[in-house]
Amino acid sequence: MLTGLLGAFGAAVAYGVGSVLQAVAARRTSAAEGLDPRLMLRLVRSWRYLVGVGLDVVGFALSIAAVRTLPLFVVQSIVASFLAITAVLGSIVLKMPLRRSDWIGLGVVVSGLVLVGLSAAEDSAVSSSRTTEWVVLASVVVLAAVAVPLGRLGGRAGAAALGAVAGLAFGATSVAARVLPGSLAPDGLIGSLGVLVASPATYALVGAGVLALLTYSTALQRGTVTEATAPLVVGETVLPALVGLLVLGDEPRAGWGWVAVVGFVLAVAGAVSLSRHGEISEHDLSRRPTDGEPAPAPSGGSSE
């Protein structure tokens, strides 16, 4: 269980730094019309985006390891604290002062994480059926179909809608990772390759990851980081937690159910309150483009 908790916190740190770098790259890349996969090809020319995605990959691997040993509500609430990491880094490295409300938000996040950590119990392995794996894959396909018309929305509405889709997609990767058959441990991975290749959950995980990156990058071009990230945090935490509790048999320590609920709500609410700190990319890094990057496109929302 300790390894799982460390993995979840490590994922939060990686996501916190990576999200800022991706926000900078997205704002400095010509805006996409609709949900355009070619946006990803333009973004990969930015070293900031590549480093940010690299950190996301590290965070993703750590979160997968965590969801294999801990309930989803624990992992997702810890991962959501990446916004607290962003706020602290912005204060220390970029000299972006924290307001009183920010300190309160940090305190709420920390309090929630303490309660979630105390209520956590080591999770038993999930024996999911092939039907469950197909349902997860079908859900990702439906989410991708919904994202296409939402990609035509501009401004704040587009940022919020696509941010929510990105959050649900990130949440789907956690659910898919949880129901993957076989072993993901280094000593058992080779022996499980055949099972993993044949599993619909594997393709759900990959598809949801790509959809999450595309929709979040597009959302960052439509509005402020706050407008895109707040619904992302809610989407990637609440639904996976419910799926874990109602479908996959997740549960807190005996007698600690109310502690888990309070901690989860506090951690998510505090993280949402800190989502403005993604704006440090605009506030402190708004110099002219470098490294051959194109000029920034007009934002669909107002910068704070």
Quick one: pLDDT at residue 9? 86
Instruction: Name the maximum alpha-carbon separation found in the chain.
Output: 57
Quick one: pLDDT at residue 283? 47
Quick one: pLDDT at residue 267? 85
pTM for this prediction: 0.74
Quick one: pLDDT at residue 135? 94
**What does DSSP assign to residue 30?**
P
Residues of the chain with pLDDT under 50: 281-304
Quick one: pLDDT at residue 5? 82
Dist CA 74 CA 206 (whole Å): 22
- What DSSP assignment string belongs to 181-220? -S--SHHHHHHHHHHHHH-HHHHHHHHHHHHHHHHHHHHH
pLDDT digit string (tens) for 139-185?
999 999 999 999 888 888 888 899 999 999 999 998 998 888 866 66
* Nearest Cα to Cα of residue 260 among 154, 113, 146: 113
pLDDT digit string (tens) for 100-130?
888 888 888 888 888 887 887 766 555 667 8
